[in-house]
Amino acid sequence: MSDRSKSPVWILLHAALVIAVTCSLFSGLRIATLSKPAIASIEELLPQGEVHSVHFLSAILLSLVALAYLCSRVLRRFRARQQYGHKPLNYHRVVTWGGISLLAISLASGWLLFAGISKLPLTRTLHFCAALGLTAYIFLHAGVYLVQFGQNALRYILKPATTRRAQLILSCSFLIIFLLGGWLLLSRFTYYQLPVSTIPADAIIDIDGHANEPQWADAEVLQISTDGGANFYQGRTDIRLKALQNGEEIYFHISWQDPTESLAHLPLIKTDQGWEIQQQGFEKFDESRYYEDKFALLLSSHCDFAGAGTAHLGRSPLPDKPANWHGKGYHYSQSGQLHDLWHWKAVRTNKMYLADDNFIGAPDIVRAGIRRYTAGYQQDGKESGAYVMNWKWYSPNNITPKRLPSDTKVLAPFQNLDQKGKLDWTISWFDYQPYSAESDQVAPGTLMPSVLYTSNRFEGDRADVRAKGVWRDGYWTLELVRKLNTASPLDIPIEDGTCLWVSAFDHAQVAHTRHTRAIQLNLSNAL
């Protein structure tokens, strides 16, 4: 530590850096708990709630400090030539250079992640490793200073040499103005734009997943990279979106990479002890293996980070509400504002040519007798809809099926989970018979689908979104349509400027991919 005291500006920038790095680190590690169980094991030390905004606000602060630092380096280099020689290389200088390099890596990889460019899983790994490196740096730098000099070190970084108040206040105000300005820019002007082409009201678009109507060929494409999900290619998939509207309805054509068509949704297997559900994580509502593929669209009049500000991470982000089972977080809206969520499911809704119409609202009340609390994520009406699961009651061990086929031969096609080709993994309630232990002739080892269709439609509000997806050669293609304005209090009207987020699920229940910047719908040339 040099004997000279530090200038007010140095003190301010160093303090800002300490704050920015600490906030980035803690909020970033919380984000990392979503896909890294090792970090999840120290979840008690990490903040909960809507941490994305904190991460991005501190990212701006960090970037500002870095800019100021660069400027001062350039200035100093210019002056230093004339005044002092080089500082001697010692432990702290080496560590500081290490720290500065790590900060540079964090900044570069962080902005790439934010922009959604580059090979995201790789960038994410780099960003994460830099964060680990920075943790070590804090101990090697600040820790060692504190051990060496104790309170003097603190005094040194907090007490400016001169009492030039005006300079301090001026630079402080500059920092705050730039911080707020940066936040405004980042949160208002970084959206992807999706132009929605206008088509004549009498143009017919078949919701069949094929998008072979000529109107689709003319629509503009938006391609975005999403990552952070389970499965896929290292948790990443690229999504292509197109949208059309005819003044009455809005159509989406979406395709994304998925190496496998996963339809075996929590299949049942007969064992020597009876029937069991094939599962890996379902008990904690985080199945990531025996699940159908899904896709979700979040629509909102708000464009805040973290899915319109609805993603609240941590085991109990709501202190007076139950904790979640997987420790990852909840979706809910803090302002009470409603956000629309369309949830297409390859088995449970695709056959009905529908997407489940859900919403994210204020956290629900706690409902006794129900094991999973989902906070703001809820369904638009109807207790179950058109399908039920083929077990009387869920258990991680043995379950009793509701129904069995009258002829066990119909189960033959389902015996190989890895087989390619089209297979309908739903069974019809009416083709199967009520289960009884006596009539259960199924041989141990046999697999059976578990999605039982009881009718072929949802009813009411929950059936507002029609959708059909088709998987071919490593891609899902999905077509969806909904009225621009359904007039339902549980849907939001779609207008120019409405924000959209998309998430893909590869045989995973909740571990979906995500993107940081919202997609803004551009209906300016609406009818």
Partner 1 sequence: MITRLFFIFFLPACLIGAAVIHTPQAPKPSQYHLSKVTAKGEVIHAWGGPWSCVCDSRSGLLWEVKSDSEDIHDGRWTYSRLLQNQGVANNGDCYFEAERCDTEDLIRHTNQEQLCGSKHWRLPTASELHTLVTTEVKPGSPSIETGYFPKTQRGDYWTSDGNLPLKGVYSYLKFGGAAVNFINGQTITIPYRNAAFTRLVTNRSSTCHIAPQ
Smallest distance from ligand HEM to CB 196, Å? 18
Q: Is 298 in the site for ligand HEM (CB under 6 A)?
A: yes
Which two structure tokens, joined as six digits, stand for 430? Answer: 């009416």
Smallest distance from partner 1 to CB 276, Å? 16
Q: Is 3 in the site for partner 1 (CB under 8 A)?
A: no
Q: Is 128 in the site for ligand HEM (CB under 6 A)?
A: yes
Amino acid 225 reads S
What are the residues facing 297 on neighbouring strands? 342, 502
- Cα 330 from Cα 320, distance rounded (Å): 14
- Where does this chain touch ligand HEM (CB under 6 A) — which range of 229-237, 267-275, 305-313, 468-476? 305-313
Contacts to ligand HEM from residues 63-92, by CB under 6 A: 63
What are the residues facing 251 on neighbouring strands? 244, 481
Q: Is 460 in the site for partner 1 (CB under 8 A)?
A: yes
Q: Is 110 helix (H, G, I), strand (E, B) or coil?
A: helix
321 to 11, 41, 283, 434: CA distances (angstroms): 42, 22, 20, 38
Contacts to ligand HEM from residues 183-202, by CB under 6 A: none
Answer whether 481's CB lies under 8 Å from 244's CB: no
Pattern 102-141, binding to partner 1, x per CB under 8 A?
-------------------------------------x--
Contacts to partner 1 from residues 20-49, by CB under 8 A: 41-45
Nearest to 123 by CA among 101, 104, 102, 106: 106
Nearer to ligand HEM, 256 or 330 (CB): 330
Which two structure tokens, joined as six digits, stand for 514? Answer: 């995500």
Q: Is 151 in the site for ligand HEM (CB under 6 A)?
A: no
- Cα 179 from Cα 168, distance rounded (Å): 16
Smallest distance from ligand HEM to CB 190, Å? 10
- Cα 326 from Cα 62, distance rounded (Å): 32
Residues, the chain, total? Answer: 527
Smallest distance from partner 1 to CB 279, Å? 17
Of the CA atoms within 13 Å of residue 45, those in its CB half-sphere come to 11
Contacts to ligand HEM from residues 247-286, by CB under 6 A: 285
Q: How many residues contact ligand HEM, by CB under 6 A?
A: 71
- Cα 319 from Cα 47, distance rounded (Å): 13
Q: Contact with partner 1 (CB under 8 A): which of 86, 371, 409, 420?
A: 371
Q: Is 146 in the site for ligand HEM (CB under 6 A)?
A: yes
Nearer to ligand HEM, 274 or 381 (CB): 381
Q: Is 359 in the site for ligand HEM (CB under 6 A)?
A: no
504 to 264, 277, 372: CA distances (angstroms): 17, 24, 22
Q: Are strands 274-277 and 451-453 parallel, antiparallel or unpaired?
A: unpaired
Nearer to partner 1, 33 or 58 (CB): 33
Summarize as ranges the residues that interact with partner 1 (CB under 8 A): 41-45, 139, 143, 146-147, 150, 315, 322-325, 327, 364-371, 373, 378-383, 388, 392-394, 400, 402, 434, 454, 460-462, 490
